[in-house]
Structure 1
């Protein structure tokens, strides 16, 4: 029974990521097709919206709806977890429209899309700790939101971007903590100390930075560095860890 359940979940996870459907988009006027795409978007029917928007984009690449179609595709791809397509569309739009009034939103969506790349359906489902996963998409998302704040400080998306940067910073700090712990368990004492200290320097205001002190303490103890042990213990006591 468990095997069938897991197989079903795996099949579902594959289906969720599919962007194309069997729907044949009729050859109708662009205004009518765009209206139908908007209905699909508003109802959350992402596959249908994507089919119609992609048809518009390919049939009328320089039409009256061209720019808005690409913006809608960015959103629909994100909602449907077609993240690679979303990023490709973002890059294309940014390259072709370097002064567009909605570039702050496009940059915000790039950050959200990179954040989404750090998600994993099965990990979320089974509540798996992902702190030791490669944080490259997180670094990109952090850079996107930072750029948004620098370029468009008055953007309506700036406040949310700033909040997300806090979460991303904690994710990056947790990764460094997991790495330091990995070195500790492998008895690579110097590597554990170096990673712990780098974490404390880069993300000093995170919970992970405080927790890394205990890894640092154990590594110093193993190396027999009494002065360093004493100093680290003082930091632990001072922060009531």
Structure 2
């Protein structure tokens, strides 16, 4: 067997005769592939760039550029409006690098993937709630980071988004002469989305709903809460121009504020 093996080696060596050209295959190194991927990003050739970063992870899985290539791959998929693919890539990255230097960015980009899903009306509102949870986690983990700062702005938008959705359902009931279910929806807005920009109008519409039910005590209380919290709001002025409520006792408003829970 040893002789057969030696013969095979000699055969392979002499198969390339002096008259034949020897083809030399030069393999690109990881650094050059990475640089090429970056160059393609600058040229806005995202799909071609992704191919380079995939090549790094396929051919050089232990390269020092491997983690960066994974992150760039995910980022480029995000830029190509592929949030589901981006989430999958980043989840894989974090499972292999739970304490990696890009983990914080990966968590932020995952949150952004759910955030961009919110604008698609065909998607379930569960994505909005997931995005909120992700942004809250970022803020809690590192409140002073640049990602946390942006997460706060995104949270404000998402809270306003959810509040408005509840408000619109309430308005649907109100316009269809169903004040009781309208009040229930408006109550959710006030209870769950305090600080939302829709709160003044929600209180105004709740006032209207109580008026429709001829519950003057409730409508008066709602008006006073609106006036106390948003004295310069156009919704406050709208009611004030239509109706003058006389407060008989100095402590009346305080008592009304204490009864907020009974209304909402």
Q: Which range, TM-score by smaller chain?
A: 0.7 to 0.9
Query: Structure 1: how far apart are the matches of 2:101 and 2:221?
Result: 54
Query: Offset of 1:237 from its aligned partner?
Result: 4.0
Where 1:157 maps in the other structure, the secondary structure is: helix
What is the CA RMSD across the aligned residues, in angstroms?
2.4
Matches within 5 A, 1:95-114: 95-114=95-114
Asked if the contact 1:104–1:155 (Cα under 8 Å) also holds between the matched residues in 2, the reply is: no
Matches within 5 A, 1:76-225: 76-120=76-120, 134-225=124-215
* Larger of the two Rg values belongs to structure: 2
Can you list the C-alpha shifts for 1:184-241, whole angstroms capped at 9, x where unaligned? 2344432221221121122222221111112212322232322212222333444342
Asked if the contact 2:115–2:128 (Cα under 8 Å) also holds between the matched residues in 1, the reply is: yes
Matches within 5 A, 1:66-85: 66-85=66-85
Q: Which has the higher contact order (CA 8 A, sep 6+)?
A: 1
Query: Structure 2: how far apart are the matches of 1:155 and 1:204?
Result: 25
Q: Which residue of 2 aligns with 1:36?
A: 36
Q: Do the aligned partners of residues 37 and 133 (structure 1) sit closer, same or farther apart at CA in structure 2, a change above 3 Å counting? A: closer
**Structure 1 unaligned blocks of 5 or more:** 1-26, 121-129
Q: Do the aligned partners of residues 215 and 134 (structure 1) sit closer, same or farther apart at CA in structure 2, a change above 3 Å counting? A: farther
Query: Structure 2: how far apart are the matches of 1:201 and 1:65?
Result: 49
Aligned length, in residue pairs: 205
